Structure 1
């Protein structure tokens, strides 16, 4: 590689060249049984000298994946250096082997340089096709470990460009899932909605449902929901057997309330019984006085002209019949055993 003024080592002196007579070098010396694919040093290279190795699809900068890359770099920096190669030793510029989206993200964040590993041979190795992605369970463990080390949920949400509820669902992914079902899901990708449905099943049914989804190669929320609906009620954790209908309220409280109401009724009845005689006497006297008064045509005519509503009340009093009078009148009209309440329109 030709040394250019714009290309600077990120950690100068980290890998010094050993002297010819030095026997205790910190890393192997030639002859080696293998060839290193990259220089040991990491270099800071200006972004303007990096040429893309492939055309970036249109609209990629509006995708969720690109936004997550930008958020991650903004929050915690670039974790993995770019992989580049110098196609022509005598010409300026480097060809990107891996990291086209990261270069766009760095440019969007206003960065001028990027850490790069310089490859020694332009091989046909495809970087993104030979890596193992994190499974959903491994991602859960990674987030739990980050939380245990003091990283806040808010910072994780900013780094992954997701809302806080998404982080919480990922952190609580395996809550209520039996260990055997977790072991079966260890190497698979799935959404948190899958475990949300599994959480409503008992342990034996969880294992059975996971095995069915793995056999069908469809570990999806729709499949888990269908299995949940097909689960017998006794194998569900959210099933509550029907309870016999209980009387509303506390029986003792109802008895106390009933006794209180009966006591009030008795007090009112006792009061009415004590005042019945005097009130009945007053009614009889008032009725007799009004009867004589209304028999006077002059008085009746005067009251009718000037206070007709008072006349109506007087007539109601005159037509009032006591219980004893009603019984006697009924016996006269219908004989013994007649219904006295017919006098009151009942």
Structure 2
């Protein structure tokens, strides 16, 4: 047996087991307020329509073969109790600690949710059934299914893992593909994926870069003169960002070298004494650069 095999062990038993719900001992019972939440109702509807997608996780109790520790799935088990179920199929963990379960929740992005719904529809699941399973209005499901119609493939690739509201994609659809890519790059650079920011980018988009919109854009509270100024400012901003992207790596490397050099320089007491006597303003700036944890902190 290799060294890796000596220390590694499986995290779960290979087969699921059916356990009486009454035999489950919860590690942390859900608060009473949980049942009043919208999320609880969504999970409940999903269990009714689809069944348990993910089995609860339990651990065996040494010396007590009749009961099991419930490590993960407390809400699902509560829902099964409400539905008068007496048994549940569980995944058995070989460790009885509950810290690692659900500590990092992976939420679906709008693009991933769209792909999931389209895949379900392609397999013959009706929009109505998906709506019932997700506790959504059927129009919301159709809206999610058609989310990327008219969106550039490059934009989809850039936003596939981003928590971006559906409204942003609907705003991007009003732009031509190249402008969609430019607007997406601006959102990524600003780390701002709100519908309000996307609307501002739409307002600053020249009319000839809009998709199917021949009339000039009208935004409430914004005069045509202000709109023209906004478009010019946005064009300048895009040029500046392009220049920064081209030189960022080189500039950052140079600044890192300079920072290291200054830190070494200030380690010499004679140099520090000279600067303190003759150029105190230089010494203050040199120390700030050398002591900065990063250049982002220095800029801040």
Which TM-score band (shorter chain)?
0.5 to 0.7
- Alignment gaps of 5+ in structure 1: 1-30, 243-346
SS of residue paired to 1:137: helix
Structure 2 distance, partners of 1:172, 1:90, is 53
Specify every segment of 5 or more residues in structure 2 that has no aligned partner in the other structure, as ranges.
217-300
Q: CA deviation at 1:191?
A: 2.1
Structure 1 window deviating more from structure 2 (209-218 vs 174-183): it is 209-218
| Aligned 8 A contact 1:84 1:94 in 2 | yes
SS in structure 2 of the partner of residue 117 of structure 1: strand
Q: Of residues 177, 180, 187 in structure 2, which corresponds to 1:213?
A: 187
Task: Supply the distance in 2 between the matched residues of 1:202 and 1:55 (Cα, whole angstroms).
Answer: 52
1:184 aligns with 2:158: yes
Distance in 2 (alpha carbons) for counterparts of 1:135 and 1:54: 29
Residues 169-199 of structure 1 deviation map (CA, whole Å, 9 limit, x = unaligned): 1100101101111111111122211111111
Which residue of 2 is the match for residue 120 of structure 1? 94
* Corresponding residue SS for 2:27: coil
Q: Which residue of 1 aligns with 2:123?
A: 149
The equivalent of 2:214 in structure 1 is 240
Moved over 4 A (4+): none
Q: Does 1:228 align with 2:202?
A: yes
Q: Which has the larger radius of gyration?
A: 1
- Residue 125 (structure 1) shift: 4.4
Deviation at 1:156, TM superposition (A): 0.5
1:204, CA displacement in angstroms?
Answer: 1.5
Relative contact order, CA 8 A, sep 6+: which one is greater?
A: 2
Contact 1:70 1:109 in 2 (8 A): no
The SS at the match of 1:59 is: helix
Question: Deviations 1:255-309 (Å, cap 9, x if unpaired)?
Answer: xxxxxxxxxxxxxxxxxxxxxxxxxxxxxxxxxxxxxxxxxxxxxxxxxxxxxxx
Aligned length: 212
- Written as runs of structure 1 = structure 2, the 5 A alignment for 1:1-346 is 32-33=5-6, 34-90=8-64, 92-123=66-97, 125-130=99-104, 132-241=106-215
SS at structure 2 position matched to 1:212? helix
Whole-Å Cα distance in 2 between the matches of residues 218 and 126 of structure 1? Answer: 31
